[in-house]
Amino acid sequence: MRITSQREIILEELQRLKTHPTADELYEVVKKRLPRISIATVYRNLERLSEAGMIHKLEYGGRQKRFDGDTSPHSHVVCVRCGRISDVETRDDMEILDIVVDSKGYQILKCGVQFEGICPFCQERSKSKKD
């Protein structure tokens, strides 16, 4: 993957923001440093960077994808009204109620374990395509 100024700055700005921005929110920020950048470049690079594991794509809440420049393991809280995402601090010594109370002012409605993986159909598809 080649290094371009667009790619570098998109990554830099995403890592600096702690807000889990949408593609267009990040576009507005990056545009201040690269006024001629295209929104398509932002989408493309967010996709490539997340494929490379350098950032995380968050597909919870709302219809817009959000992105996280912090790839260290941590939990999120999603606003069911506006789709905003914030980090939730979960240390080993914390009770679940401490987490809920300490959750950045969010009124917590629900919490649960979320699994991500590859379904049997997509596994089968990968095998036949040998990728």
Find all residues with CB under 8 Å of 65, minimum gap 6, and list them. 22, 23, 46, 57, 58, 59
- Residue 31 vs 84, nearer CB to a second copy: 84
Residues numbered 15 to 44 that lie near DNA (CB under 7 A) are 22-24, 34, 36-41, 43-44
Could you tell which of a second copy, DNA, none binds residue 106, using a CB distance below 5 to 8 A set by kind?
Answer: a second copy
Candidates 21, 25, 15, 5; CA nearest to 69 is 15
Q: In this structure, are residues 11 and 54 in contact, taking their beta carbons and an 8 Å threshold?
A: yes
Interacting span for DNA (CB under 7 A) from 59-67, 87-95, 110-118, 122-130: 59-67
Among 2, 120, 127, 129, binds a second copy (CB under 8 A): 120
Q: CA dihedral in degrees (78, 118, 26, 102; nearest 10)?
A: 30
Q: Find where tokens 């699994």 sit.
A: 115
Nearer to DNA, 57 or 74 (CB): 57
Q: 54, 42 in Cβ contact below 8 A?
A: no
- Which position among 95, 117, 127, 129 is part of the footprint of a second copy (CB under 8 A)? 117
Asked if 72 is part of the footprint of a second copy (rule: CB under 8 A), the reply reads: no
Please identify, using beta-carbon distances, which residue of 44 and 94 lies nearer to DNA. Answer: 44
Residue 88 backbone dihedrals phi, psi, to 5 degrees = -120, 130
Q: Which residues bind a second copy (CB under 8 A)?
A: 59-63, 65, 73, 75-82, 84, 86, 88, 90, 99-100, 103-123, 125
